[in-house]
Structures are given as C-alpha cells and as structure tokens.
C-alpha cells in the first residue's frame, strides 16, 4: 500500500456509539494531514463510522477488507 499510516486504532471491541467516539478521539490526537487506520467490524460499524467521520470533515482515503470479518478505514485528518 502506498499510504503511510501514522496511527492505528481498533474499534472492534466496542459498540455504537463508542465505535465512532473511539475513532474520533484517536483522530483528535493526530496532527492535521496525518493518517489514521481504523479497524472495525463488518456490518453496522462499516455502515455508520465512515459516514460520521466524513461529517466531521475528515477525508476517507480507503476502506480495506481484511478478509477476517473486519475492515480498515484509512482516514486523513482535516484541520480544526
């Protein structure tokens, strides 16, 4: 993969709305322009978390299928 990941967060062990909350908190800790990889379960998280992150103004770069029932959402942090 050609995108450098600065930080990773796993939200497979929590449920809505903490999925998004945990991802949001991880993004807040990054600098503008840095890239976060968010590992999430298939189903509801994949449907909702990317949309919520987009609503916050961040840029979704990729959604990678990990082939184990989880996906990795690659996000570039937007400015405040």
Partner 1 sequence: MAFSNDQLQRYSRHIILKEVGAKGQRKLLDGKVLIIGAGGLGAPAALYLAAAGIGEIGICDADEVDLSNLQRQVIHSTNDIGKSKVQSAKESMEAINPEIKVNAIHAWVDSANIMKLIEPYDFIIDGTDNFPAKFLINDACAIAGKAFSHAGIIRFQGQLMTYVPGQGPCYRCIFQNPPPPDAVPTCRQAGVIGAMGGVIGSLQAMEAVKFLLGKGSLLTGQLLTYDALKMEFRKIKLPKRESCPVCGANPTILAPIDYDQAVCEVKQ
Q: Any catalytic annotation for residue 26?
A: no
Under the criterion CB under 8 A, does residue 8 sit at the interface with partner 1?
no
Residue with Cβ nearer partner 1 (22 or 39): 22
Region of 24-32, 34-42, 43-51, 66-74 interacting with partner 1 (CB under 8 A): 24-32
Q: How far apart are CA 48 and CA 62, in angstroms?
A: 15
28 binds partner 1 (CB under 8 A): yes
Residue 21 CB partners (closer than 8 Å, separation 6+) = none
Contact with partner 1 (CB under 8 A) among 1, 3, 29, 66: 29
Residues 15, 21: Cα–Cα separation, whole Å:
10
2 or 80: CB nearest partner 1: 80
Using an 8 Å Cβ cutoff, are 22 and 53 in contact? Answer: no
Q: How far apart are CA 44 and CA 48, in angstroms?
A: 6
Active site residues: 16
């Amino acid at each position: 993969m050609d995108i450098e990941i600065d930080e990773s967060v796993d939200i497979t062990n929590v449920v809505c709305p903490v999925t998004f909350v945990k991802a949001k908190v991880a993004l807040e800790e990054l600098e503008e322009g840095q890239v976060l990889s968010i590992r999430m379960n298939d189903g509801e998280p994949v449907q909702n978390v990317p949309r919520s992150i987009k609503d916050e103004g961040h840029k979704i770069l990729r959604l990678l299928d990990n082939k184990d029932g989880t996906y990795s959402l690659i996000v570039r942090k937007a400015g405040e």
